[in-house]
Amino acid sequence: MRLAAIDCGTHSIRLLISEVDSRSGAMVDVMRLNRIVGLGEGVDRTGHLSEAALERTFAAVEEYAGFVRREGVQRIRMVATSASRDADNFSQFSAGVEARLGVTPEVISGQVEATLGFTGTLSAHRDIASPALTVDIGGGSTEFAFGQANPDTGQFDQVTAAVSMNMGSTRVTERYLRPAEDARGVPSEDAISQAGQFVDSLIAQARASVPLERAREVVGVAGSVTTLTALELGLDSYEPDKINGAVLDSGALRERARRLIRMPHAEKAQLGPMHPQRVRQIAGGVLVWERILAWLEAHPAPGSGAGHSDSGTVSASEPRGAFPVRTSENDILDGIILSQIP
């Protein structure tokens, strides 16, 4: 059975076509594509999808429709996320997609987005510690999902808590960083601080719904995270096979993120793994990731309990400190495919 999934977010529209064994549920990628179209450009300020953004997105939809026909797809599901939830002219977008693709884009809630992302992200990784936390940093929002592995199958199909917060690469960049950029594209330290405070406040709100600190494994997803991972791995180009499943130190990722936030656009554009259309947006995304990792480092690791500090005193709340962080190229697209299997 050949299935297709399309995820249309604030920054990118992505396609996955998979061959699925309907009995075992095993999936084999036929095609995985990403087009950065900036559908949500300016939506945080105007509440409106611009004509230019719609044209770029419709061009990508037409391209994807051609691949869907060519590959003999039997079933397709398209979801739209943060930008579409915020836009007052979504009906115009929806009509344009249906005319080109033959399906209506489904605007999903942040909760559904987080749940699909969790199951999709962890579907292809067999060595994840349970419970696990997935963090999907999009253009307009960030999804946190926490869950357990099924003790009988080992599959992460039990999402126990999920929440979506309105902080993403495009939203944070447009609201805080870009207005304070100098001629080189470097934001002021004051703007970086304000953006960090904004993100920290939303992480605290997310913690009210999701037990972030209880995760034994943390998995980061989406372009800002994967690009940062590629840079920390020292890759000369963007290589998904090397990025997928990579485990890196949270402290090293935070330091890399802080440098990237303060890097001029011209220098970012010269980095091998950097997509040209991420140059002006990625600072906001890696800032969100840096603050999430900082929060996790500052809180106790799960099951740490009481122990002796270096000074000899007993503490029940030693901070986790730097810890291993995994990156996944599998994401909500895989979850959308899985949701279509009878």
What pLDDT, on the 0 to 100 scale, is given for residue 307?
41
pTM given for the model: 0.87
Q: Is residue 274 domain-shared with residue 238, that is, in the same domain?
A: yes
Query: Is residue 333 situated within a structural domain?
Result: no
Q: At what angle do helices 282-298 and 223-233 cross, to 10 degrees?
A: 80
Of residues 213, 211, 226, 199, the one with CA closest to residue 326: 226
Could you say which residues of the chain have pLDDT below 50?
A: 306-315
pLDDT tens track for 141-167: 999 999 998 888 778 877 899 999 999
Q: Are residues 94 and 142 in the same domain?
A: no
Q: Is residue 62 part of a domain?
A: yes
Instruction: Name the residue range of residue 208's domain.
Output: 111-328
Measured in degrees and rounded to the nearest 5, phi and psi for residue 71 equal -90, 5
Question: Can you read off the two tokens belonging to residue 225?
Answer: 């995270």
Domain co-membership, 284 together with 145: yes
Q: What confidence score (pLDDT) does residue 303 get?
A: 75
Burial of 151 (0-12, 13-18, 19+ CB in 10 A): exposed
Give, as one character, the DSSP assignment of residue 213. Answer: G
Residue where one domain finishes, among candidates 108, 137, 157: 108
Give DSSP secondary structure letters for 81-123: -HHHHH-TTHHHHHHHHHHHHSS--EE--HHHHHHHHHHHHHT
Q: Assess if residue 341 is contained within a domain.
A: no
Residues 14 and 84: their CA atoms lie apart, in Å, by: 15
116 with 85, same domain? no
List alpha helices for 141-235, DSSP H.
Answer: 169-172, 189-207, 223-233
pLDDT at 304: 63
- What per-residue confidence (pLDDT) applies to 82? 65
Residue 308 is predicted with a pLDDT of 39
Token pair 């419970």 in the structure block, residue: 131
- Whether residue 41 contacts residue 112, with contact meaning beta carbons closer than 8 Å, is answered with no
